[in-house]
Structure 1
Amino acid sequence: MKNYIFCLLAIVLFSCSPKEQVQTFMTYNLRYNNPNDGENRWEVRKENVADLILNYQPDVFGTQEGLNDQITWLDSVLTNYSYIGVGRDDGKQKGEYCAIFYKTAKYNVIKQSTFWLSKTPEEISVGWDAALERICTYFLLENKETKQRFYVFNAHFDHVGNIARLNSSKLIFSKITEHNPENYPCVLMGDLNLLPETDPILYLSMQMDDSKGLAGESVSGAEGTFNGFKHDKTVTDRIDYIFISKGDAKVKEYKVIDDQVEERYPSDHLPVLVEMEL
């Protein structure tokens, strides 16, 4: 009889496990607000970007390339989200952001910061052979209901410097180790401007789990993530990623969202959406 009651209690407790442990993460390069983009300029497509995010409702999503006007506009229309982030040119509002948005009803921000991908990460700087300043923004989130904590790091690697990109991978992983002595789960996302077989990505894949690899057969959407506003071409170049600290997640679904509006992509990158149980 006692064994029966114990088993019954175990079943009840298991069935009542909080659903909040399954969470969705997205990374999305917005393409910066360039008035010279013609029919692909921000003013024409921004509503489509917002609609895509609202349609998929990620719990947390990181953006790359967004300028202050783009980030603040998104913040104004995505009313159930808030964000952290700074401009890479001055550490305030100038230049591109690696902003991270999160559902305010679900999470509290415990701490946050931004560092530069360079030899002097705490200073506004250009790293190694990079063409431009590059940054990584991160925060520690706490789930309001379950009290579970996890980190999210969001980065945008340089598009030119090979040394900078490899060193950026090493720097970010060292920062993850430095700031996470509690060994909370950690999600690393971003536009890394590199294909999967390159050394910086292989390095990260040795240190962390690539969410696509953890998804098994639950992979959908395009193969690549960079479309270059070639709306009628197959997207094959995968340069946007979501990694997770080793052994810390079960990935339920990995999807590269290739939705179009009137046969056009909302940005020159496709967002990556991952549903995982931390």
Structure 2
Amino acid sequence: MLDEPASAAPAPMRIMTFNIKFDDAGDPRAAWAGRRAAVAGVIRNSGAGVVALQEVLAGQRDDLAADLPDYTVLGVGRDDGARAGEATPLLIRSDLTVLNAGTFWLSATPEAPSRYTDGALPRICTWARVRAHGAPAGPGLHVWNVHLDHLDESLRRRQLAVVHQRAQTAARAPGPAQVLLGDFNAGPGSATLTDTRRAGWEEARRASRTRPAGPAGTFHDWIPDAALADADARIDHVFVRGGVTVHAHETLQPTSAVIPSDHFPVVVVVDVTVPA
């Protein structure tokens, strides 16, 4: 478990990103019935107040809402803006207040279910602005959860540009403190991550005040040992901006008998400086 900073002001917050793999009944490794308890256990044991998930079908959302009653599940399916298709939900623990939230599409028409014409699938961003109970009044922390295209770098860059534009607007009002995280389907040296840095984001792994812990990679394709030393397999990322201090960064390696997913989750510990 990651160590939190000693100071109680401002209060630290644990945030996790985790691609849980969609329920694929045709693949015994990915069938949800055999992994449900393991995935819920990873989330529960992480201690994260904000959990960003990817590849979540409606039934999986329902099950996690039942298994994790301390969390509110936010998000919609990408196919119809309701229950159809994968979602990128945010789970917000009950000690945090959701100030507002929503989902938009990573396309030329973000307000409606859609995709770029050269995209194989619709892609979405689910976001929320949260504040800890008892925290000083202010704009809170804006969290953006993405799952980008798995095939085309150019498309990933265009998809993420939609998020960058929204984040830039949000930085002016309601406030600058933001976290961008999820499955980027892009490694450390990719143009997608270069664009993200140029847009004003800092990688939490690099910004961490303590040495990053855990495996070098995050995608292991059901063979966990494959990603332990493979930095090119690090496709799940956390970025911060606007007064967010990163105290710790860890790629978790679950130790349950059941492999929860084909990705490792990533957890960061942050605090937010409230503007004067």
Question: Does the alignment reach a TM-score above 0.5?
Answer: yes
* Cα drift, residue 212 of structure 1: 0.2
Q: Structure 1 CA distance, aligned partners of 2:20 and 2:176?
A: 29
8 Å Cα contact 1:35-1:41 kept in structure 2: yes
Instruction: Judge which range, 213-222 or 230-239, deviates more.
Output: 230-239
| 1:242 aligned residue (238, 258, 269) | 238
More deviation in 184-193 or 123-132?
123-132
Counterparts in 2 of 1:251-270, with a 5 A limit?
Answer: 251-262=246-257, 264-270=258-264
What CA distance in whole angstroms lies between the structure 2 residues aligned with 1:176 and 1:62?
17
- Percent identity over paired residues: 28
Decide which moves more: 178-187 or 201-210: 178-187
- Alpha-carbon distance between aligned partners in 1 of 2:29 and 2:7, rounded to the nearest angstrom: 48
* One-letter amino acid matched to 2:148: F
Counterpart AA for 2:133: K
TM-score w.r.t. length of structure 2: 0.89
Partner Cα distance (1:182, 1:38) in 2 = 45
What does 1:49-198 correspond to in 2, within 5 Å?
49-104=39-94, 106-146=95-135, 147-148=137-138, 149-180=140-171, 181-198=173-190
Distance 1:217 1:143, change over 3 A: closer
| Runs of 5+ consecutive residues of structure 1 not aligned to the other structure | 1-15
Q: Which runs of 4+ in 1 moved over 6 A?
A: none
Provide the C-alpha distance between the structure 1 equivalents of 2:236 and 2:93, rounded to a whole number of angstroms. Answer: 22
Following superposition, the deviation at residue 90 of structure 1 comes to 0.2
Tell me, in whole angstroms, the C-alpha distance in 2 between the residues paired with 1:22 and 1:128: 42
Which range is displaced more, 155-164 or 218-227? 155-164
CA shift in 2, pair 1:35/1:254, >3 Å? same
1:192 and 1:87 map into 2 onto residues whose CA distance is 18
Name the structure 2 match of 1:33. 23
Summarize deviations over 1:235-265 as a string: whole Å, max 9, x none: 420000111114x122111000012322x53
Q: Distance in 2 between matches of 1:39 and 1:196?
A: 27
Post-superposition shift, 1:226? 0.2
Contact in 1 for aligned 2:219/2:227 (Cα 8 Å)? no
2:223 to 230, 240, 248: 230
Identify unmatched segments of 5+ residues in structure 2: 1-5
Q: 1:118 to 1:196 in 2, by over 3 A?
A: same
- Compute the displacement of 1:115 (Å): 0.7
Whichever structure has more helix as a proportion of its residues is 1
Structure 1 length as normaliser, TM-score?
Answer: 0.88
- Identify the structure with bigger relative contact order (alpha carbons < 8 Å, sequence gap 6+): 2
Distance 1:164 1:39, change over 3 A: closer
Of 193, 212, 216, the residue aligned with 1:219 is 212
Q: Distance in 1 between matches of 2:57 and 2:201?
A: 29
Deviations 1:50-91 (A, max 9, x none): 111111110101000010110111111111111210000000
Q: Which amino acid aligns with 1:244?
A: V
Report the number of matched residues: 260
When Rg is computed on C-alpha atoms for both structures, the one with the higher figure is 1
- Matched with 1:272 is 266
Aligned-partner residue type, residue 274 of structure 1: V
Residue matched to 1:6 = none
- Contact 1:250–1:277 (CA under 8 A) maintained in structure 2: yes
RMSD of the alignment, in Å? 1.7
Q: How much does 1:94 deviate? A: 0.7
Equivalent AA in structure 2 for residue 111 of structure 1: N
